């Protein structure tokens, strides 16, 4: 699975259910893949110093990276890690690599201190990101750049959003307490678990009493100033977390659009579990001819494709799959979608532009250029957010919000 990511696949695609990992082992497989990718910056430099020349076989290279992750973080006894890695060579059909894997890993254990210094000799090794990413964050947040990078390497918290149409937060908190699940209240409908759990272990999850949603993402729906009876558009809606929150807050006429049929099915499943209804369309939000009936919307949520740099701790593969040149492409698509959304927004209506990014190229720069093109666009203040940017920390992921009123 890790070899697939090294070849350019997303971690989500690589971890898609198949016959390679029995269900009981999937949490451990996922943990190993996520940890190895968070650790990749330093481990890649250490492996380079150990091998002295590139290892062309991606499977062997991935195996060594996984083993180095376990050795560097002392997850198991060193001799066990080495022996299992050598055994795995045969199971992977790479029996000829046994000697190489054994020699490199034992060499690491002998020279650990010097090799760890090698792993910290560059910014990529010290901070766990490619250099272009580090440079951009340094320039954008000169006083906070190290904290932003560090947050992206943390294990993300498990935060819940209580469905107030079904249960109050105090009542649900009592259910967690009765189930022996420790949590802390973080807002009117937000709870953070002390220790992450599988959703099927959460009381009332199957009944729609609660959803898993990052605290930063939970800011979106309240910012929209929703009222019953409004016509609302949720563009680029999958997987439907914000869609559900909108409907929990107000009885609105909601159209949810996404261009991905598979991901759109997740919107439908989420709404069914929550006991909520919306009109769903599989379409390109940037082509209103596919979905618009000519009636304008009072509120629009535009959550366009972006680098996802603010949620990288949930998707550590993105650090190594993204390229600096990708940002310009995202910005063009964001600008295209904004223009269409503005056409279908009613006068005095409000549009919330939201990304899970920390890069200004797809946040403030996109909004400033849009406002310069539209004299009727009035950007409103977003409470408690410095220029709309929410930087990632231990409590939440990174997001950008711009609320624009059509005057």
- pLDDT tens by residue, 238-260: 999 999 999 999 999 999 999 99
Longest distance between any two alpha carbons in the chain, whole Å? 70
| Kind and range of the H or E run holding 395 | none
Give whole-number Cα distances, 222 to 246, 354, 383, in Å. Answer: 8, 13, 11
Rounded Cα–Cα distance for residues 125 and 144 (Å): 19
Residues found in the chain: 407
pLDDT score of 18: 59
- pTM value is 0.94
Structure confidence at residue 266 (pLDDT): 94
Please give the Cα distance from 293 to 288 (Å, whole number). 9
Looking at domain 2-128, its CATH class is mainly alpha
Half-sphere exposure at residue 382, Cβ-oriented, CA atoms within 13 angstroms: 24
In contact, 334 and 357? CB cutoff 8 Å: no
3-class DSSP assignment, residue 47: helix
Architecture of the domain made up of 159-212: 2-Layer Sandwich (3.30)
Strand partners, 279: 255
Domain residue spans of the chain: 2-128, 159-212, 217-406
Match domain 217-406 to its CATH number in 3.40.50.80, 3.40.50.150, 3.30.70.2190, 3.30.1370.30: 3.40.50.150
CB count, 10 Å around CB of 320? 20
CA nearest neighbour of 319 among 156, 152, 115: 152
Residue 242: predicted pLDDT: 98
Ranges under pLDDT 70 in the chain: 17-20
Whether 378 sits among the annotated catalytic residues: the reply is no
Hunting for tokens 């909108």 — which residue is that?
A: 246
Nearest C-alpha neighbor of 172 from the set 269, 194, 248, 183:
183
The residue from 33, 89, 356, 378 that is catalytic is 356
The predicted pLDDT at position 20 comes to: 66
- Please count the other Cβ atoms lying within 10 Å of the Cβ belonging to residue 54: 9
């Amino acid at each position: 699975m890790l070899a697939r990511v090294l070849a350019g696949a997303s971690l989500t695609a690589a971890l898609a259910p198949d016959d390679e990992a029995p269900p009981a082992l999937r949490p451990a497989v996922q943990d190993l893949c996520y940890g190895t990718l968070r650790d990749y910056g330093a481990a890649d430099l250490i492996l380079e110093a150990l091998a002295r020349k590139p290892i062309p076989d991606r499977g062997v290279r991935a195996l060594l990276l996984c083993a180095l992750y376990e050795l560097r973080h002392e997850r198991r006894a060193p001799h066990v890690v080495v022996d299992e890695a050598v055994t795995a060579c045969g199971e992977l059909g790479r029996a000829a690599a046994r000697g190489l894997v054994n020699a490199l890993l034992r060499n690491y254990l002998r020279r650990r201190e010097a090799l760890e210094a090698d792993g910290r000799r560059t910014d990529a090794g010290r901070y766990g990101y490619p250099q272009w990413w580090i440079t951009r964050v340094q320039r954008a947040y000169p006083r906070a750049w190290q904290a932003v990078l560090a947050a992206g390497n943390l294990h993300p918290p498990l935060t819940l959003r209580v469905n107030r149409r079904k249960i109050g937060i105090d009542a649900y908190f009592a259910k967690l307490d009765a189930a022996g699940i420790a949590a802390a209240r973080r807002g009117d409908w937000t709870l953070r678990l002390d220790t992450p759990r599988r959703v099927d272990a959460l009381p009332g999850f199957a009944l729609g009493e609660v959803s898993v949603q990052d605290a930063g993402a939970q800011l979106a729906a309240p910012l929209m100033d929703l009222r019953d009876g409004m016509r609302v558009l949720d563009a680029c809606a999958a997987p439907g977390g914000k869609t559900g929150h909108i409907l929990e807050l107000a009885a609105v006429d909601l159209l949810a659009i996404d261009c991905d049929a598979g991901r759109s099915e997740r919107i439908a499943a989420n709404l069914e579990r929550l006991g909520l209804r919306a009109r769903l369309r599989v379409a390109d939000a940037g082509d209103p001819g596919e979905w618009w009936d000519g009636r304008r919307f009072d509120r629009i949520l535009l959550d366009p494709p972006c680098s996802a740099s603010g949620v990288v701790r949930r998707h550590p593969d993105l650090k190594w799959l993204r390229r600096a040149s990708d940002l310009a492409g995202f910005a063009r698509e964001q600008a295209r979608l904004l223009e269409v959304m503005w056409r279908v927004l009613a006068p005095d209506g409000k549009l919330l532009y939201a990304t899970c990014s920390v890069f200004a190229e797809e946040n403030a720069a996109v909004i400033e250029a849009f406002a310069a093109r539209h004299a009727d666009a009035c950007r409103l203040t977003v409470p408690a957010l410095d220029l709309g940017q929410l930087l990632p920390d231990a409590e939440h992921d990174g997001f950008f919000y711009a609320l624009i009123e059509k005057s």
